[in-house]
Amino acid sequence: MNLLAVSINHRTAPVELRESLHLSTEEIKSFLKELKGNLFSEGFIISTCNRTEIYGFPINPRTNFKDLQKFLMEMKPVGDIRPDNFQNYFSCGAVNHLFRVSAGIDSLLLGDNQILGQVKESFQISEEFDFAGFLMKRIFDSAIKVGKRAKTETIISDGAITVSYAAVQLIEKIFSSLSRKSALVIGTGETGEIAAKHLRDKGIGTLSLTNRTMEKAEKLASAIHANAIPFSSFRECLHDYDIIISATSAPDLILTYDDVRASMKKRNGAPTIMMDIAIPRDIDPSIRELDSVFYHDIDSLKIIVDQNVKKRQGELPKVQSIIMEELVNLFGWYNSLEVTPTIRALRQVFEDIRLEEVDKIKNKLNPEDVEKLEMVTKRIINKLLHQPTVELKRISENGVNTQESAMKVNVIRSIFGLDHD
């Protein structure tokens, strides 16, 4: 299986680099248009707060990891990036990595509850662009199955395991009691919503929400008994909050150094936690230089990550066993699509049918007629199998696209039941 994958993630690059290579949904669609027909015959892209990854089947067998890295960097120019910021995977290694991602064991937070949904979304975008072919769809199905099995057959994802939850846990380590504190959550997408609900569950004193779409902020605020404030004016009341969590999908900073400095002057030295869990980041990281500001981003969550790993590492062998089982199933299916074994199996099926029917009647015939019957039935079988055999040999010998070959072989195996006992 000539599947290629490159990944830049939380283990290989700091948040500054990850946010530079983060792709919005529209950027992913634009990238897929360029990939399709140029580098890959089918593929998909995953881009989350902790990873940007490209997977695909190359059109040209000479396409390599450097070509894929070059494509990414030309489409999204970034300075100070090195080869060791990438992880490269091929064939079984690429599928294994994808399975680990889907299962949540390659995430910053072990057992991440959000990643499976993000993987599904990546698949859906690929299918929307007709960029998920015969093989990729089978890989998709297996990856989703791995993620679901990891959640249902182990406790790797039990409880609240998200970046939002880790952020709130870190806030609790700074402010021992939240009941007398006020918080503002900027952005009410999935990550912001989860953060807001965790703050509510932790008994936050006052909770406010803001979002570019006011209607969305008001809807969530009503559901969790919070306040909604207009996005256009939230900067003017920053000083009212002890805790600010920002989780938007904005491409640029929404809070500058000057914004925060102005708010801190109004707070008269009262400390503020600024938790930026967006990628790209929402808050200028230079605010960490301001007195009484506790600034944190995703890479600040190491202490929570370490605690999380200790609690869940006992489940890792179970998840890895699921991954291995599904890898064996997938590659067992893929290896069955080889041409020569299929030709052999197809002929054997027809020969078994021929022998069975000849055996039913040969006792009623004399030896000479039996010999003639054997000869005629063999000729019939050979003529029936001639065109399928020629076509299978052609796609094998002429090096036709692997996906096309695999698809044709799979159709033949399915039609004639070659994979059934």
What would the two tokens of residue 108 be? 């910053």
Query: What is the secondary structure of 46-72 as a DSSP string?
Result: EEETTEEEEEEEESSTT--HHHHHHHH
Task: Write down the residue that tokens 């599947």 correspond to.
Answer: 3
- CB-CB contact of 134 with 410 (8 Å): yes
What are the residues whose beta carbons fall under 8 Å from the beta carbon of 28, sequence distance 6 or more? 45, 47, 122, 125
For the chain, how long is the longest CA-to-CA vector?
A: 112
C-alpha to C-alpha distance for 230 and 211, rounded to whole angstroms: 7
- Count of helix runs (H) and strand runs (E) in the chain: 15, 10
CA 217 vs. chain centroid, Å, equals: 28
What are the start-end ranges of the H helices in 294-338? 302-312, 316-335
- CB-CB contact of 146 with 102 (8 Å): yes
C-alpha to C-alpha distance for 285 and 411, rounded to whole angstroms: 56
What would the two tokens of residue 180 be? 């007398």
* Side chain identity, residue 75: M
What are the residues whose beta carbons fall under 8 Å from the beta carbon of 41, sequence distance 6 or more? 56, 57, 58, 59, 133, 401, 403
- CB-CB contact of 21 with 52 (8 Å): yes
Output Rg (C-alpha) for the chain, integer angstroms. Answer: 29
- CB-CB contact of 316 with 308 (8 Å): no
C-alpha to C-alpha distance for 25 and 9, rounded to whole angstroms: 18
Residues annotated as part of the active site: 49
The candidate with the shortest Cα–Cα distance to 57, out of 126, 141, 145, 146, is 126
Distance (Å) of CA 44 to CA 3, 27, 32, 120, 339: 11, 12, 7, 11, 27
- CB-CB contact of 198 with 192 (8 Å): no
